[in-house]
Amino acid sequence: YHQLLLAPELADKRDWLHLKVAQLNLQMGKMDQARLEVRDLLVDEPRSTLRPQAYYLTGYSYYLEKRFDLALFAFRQTAKDFPGTPLALRAQYFVADLLEEQGQMREALAAYTALRGKYPNPDIVEKRIKTLQARIRRGVR
C-alpha cells in the first residue's frame, strides 16, 4: 500500500489508501502506525470525505489500547466535527460507553439519552438508559 501511495495515477485515491493502510495497521495491533497513517491522510488530504473515518479510527485505536481519556477526546471530536454522520453517532455511543466505564453515570446517562431517536439500534440505547437509571437509583457505580 505504501508504494501505491506514491503512484501518480492513484493520486485521486490517496486518502482511501491512507485509510486502508491505517485499518490494516489497526488490525495488526500497530496502533501508533495506524495513527500516523491517519495523520498523513488528514494533512495530505484536508478536504477528504474520509475525514470522519480517520477521526473515528483514531478514537478506536486509543480505545483498543485502553487509553480511555484520549479515546474519549477523539470520539467527542468526531461527533462535534461531523454531526449527523453515522460515524458521529457511533462516536457518541462510545463516548457514553466510556463515561459509564469511568463511573460517570449521570454523564453517561445524558450521553445515551442524547442518542434517543438518532442511533440506528434504538433498542440498545434504551436498554443502556434503563440499566443506568437503575444503577443510579441504587447508587451502584
Supply the pLDDT for residue 12. 78
Instruction: Express each pLDDT in 41-64 by its tens digit.
Output: 999 889 999 999 999 999 999 999
Rounded to two decimals, the pTM is 0.87
103's grid cell:
463511573
Predicted pLDDT at 126: 97
- Three-state DSSP class for 47? coil
CA distance 94 to 86: 13
Q: How far apart are the first and last CA of the chain?
A: 45
pLDDT tens sequence across 78-110: 999 999 899 999 999 999 999 999 999 999 999
Q: What integer pLDDT is reported at residue 97 of this predicted model?
A: 96
Q: Contact, 77 vs 108, CB < 8 A?
A: no
Quote the pLDDT of residue 1. Answer: 66
Give me 77's grid cell: 471530536
The CA angle 10-29-91, to the nearest 5 degrees, is: 80
